[in-house]
Amino acid sequence: MAPDAKITVRNVSKTFRTGRGGVQALEGIDFQVGEGEFVALVGPSGCGKSTLLNMLAGFDRPDTGEALVDGRPVLAPSRKGVLITQRGSVFPWMNVQRNLGFGVNGMPEAEQESLTRHYIELVGLQGFEQAFPHELSGGMLQRVEVARALMAKPDVLYMDEPFAALDALTRLRMREELIRILERERHTCILVTHDVEEALHLADRILVISTRPGRIQRTVEVDVPHPRRLSSIRLVALREMVLSELGVTQGEDRTARPAVAGTGVQKLTAGWASDN
């Protein structure tokens, strides 16, 4: 294990038992994530990427291999990591302020109020402290989700398509918001997404996962500084590279399609030295 690895996944495999036998979701998954790194898992539906994320968050266990955070096996959910999903977990009977404060119950009241105020400002929800979930837009609700996750002071943010239910413009704005937040509060992040452009917009590195049983087909280094222009030569080249690995030709849908399992991990980078 690399000395600076925050997360290590070593030879992880998983099979789900069914009445007809079993369905192998993952096979021989190996990768590491450094402290403060943002890694995206991209692959077709049913390739096991959400299963892998749930293992890292402690909600599932591998059949073989191990997942480690800070060198220790992940055996159950802990405060070291928080999972954010598209379904959300905001309490509909609580306003924004109480939703955020719920995760830090037991903290001295003055400290709780100060922390809540900080994260409301961080995600841009000033003026909506007393609003209830049904009074908020989808983008605002996801800001509440992100703020709640950050208030738990996790080492790692696990995100399972957190913006998938939002319209395209709101998704783009939320990605920009997330980048801004992570520049101020550095966290290690793992994102599951079908959206290749979302992965390129956010991640330092993309792991392309094959069709079931999921394997790491390719590793794509997104060595482009923020702010990123998705229309830039380098990111267009990287996008076509990822889509090619997923079996999608130019002009087709940009979301993940089935990929054929590869025989190993190969790092791919764009060949241009200029134009971010």
- Does residue 261 form part of some domain? no
Predicted model pTM: 0.85
Would you call 226 helix, strand, or coil by DSSP?
coil
pLDDT for the residue numbered 271: 32
pLDDT score at 4: 77
pLDDT number for residue 261: 43
Q: Distances from the Cα of 158 to the Cαs of 23, 55, 101, 129, in angstroms?
A: 24, 11, 21, 25
How many domains, the chain?
A: 1
Which pLDDT value is given to residue 36? 95
3-state secondary structure 156-215: EEEEECCCCCCCHHHHHHHHHHHHHHHHHCCCEEEEEECEHHHHHHHCCEEEEECCCCEC
- What is the average pLDDT across 205-218? 96
What residues are paired with 39 via a beta bridge?
Answer: 190, 205
Torsion over CA of 32, 35, 37 and 43, rounded to 10 degrees? 30
Tokens, residue 77:
């959910």
Q: How high does pLDDT run on average in the chain? A: 87
CA dihedral 24, 9, 222, 140 (to 10 degrees): 80
Residue 127 domain flag: yes
Q: How far is CA 79 from CA 74, 109, 153, 154, in A?
A: 12, 21, 8, 6
Neighbours of 94 (CB within 10 A): 15
What's residue 268's pLDDT?
A: 38
Question: Is pLDDT above 80 for 239?
Answer: yes
The burial of 36, by beta-carbon neighbours within 10 Å (0-12 exposed, 13-18 middle, 19 or more buried), is given as middle
**70's torsion region: left (phi>0), alpha (psi -120 to 50) or beta?**
left
96-117 as b/e, with b when 16 or more CB fall inside 10 Å? bbebbbebbeeeeeeebeebbe
Is 140 part of any domain? yes
**Is the per-residue pLDDT at 250 higher than 90?**
no
Tell the residue number behind the tokens 């266990």, with chain if given. 61
pLDDT (average), residues 158-186? 90
Place of tokens 């922390």: 115
Segment 223-244 shows an average pLDDT of: 95
Q: Is residue 195 in some structural domain?
A: no
- Name the more confident of 209 and 152: 209
pLDDT number for residue 262? 41
47-77, pLDDT tens digit by residue? Answer: 999 999 999 999 999 999 999 999 999 999 9
Query: Quick check: is 67 in a domain?
Result: no
Q: Do the domain assignments include residue 126?
A: yes
Domain that holds residue 119: 81-153
Residues of the chain with pLDDT > 70, as a percent, come to 89
The radius of gyration computed from the CA coordinates of the chain, to the nearest angstrom, equals 19
Q: Is residue 115 within a helix (H) or strand (E), and if so which, with residue range?
A: helix 109-122
- Domain membership of residue 119 (yes or no) is yes
pLDDT tens-digit series, residues 77-133 = 998 899 998 877 899 999 999 999 887 777 888 888 898 999 999 898 999 999 999
pLDDT, one tens digit per residue, over 258-274 is 544 443 333 333 333 33
Domain assignment present for 267: no
Cα–Cα distance, 197 to 224 (Å, whole number): 13
List the structure tokens of 150. 């950050």
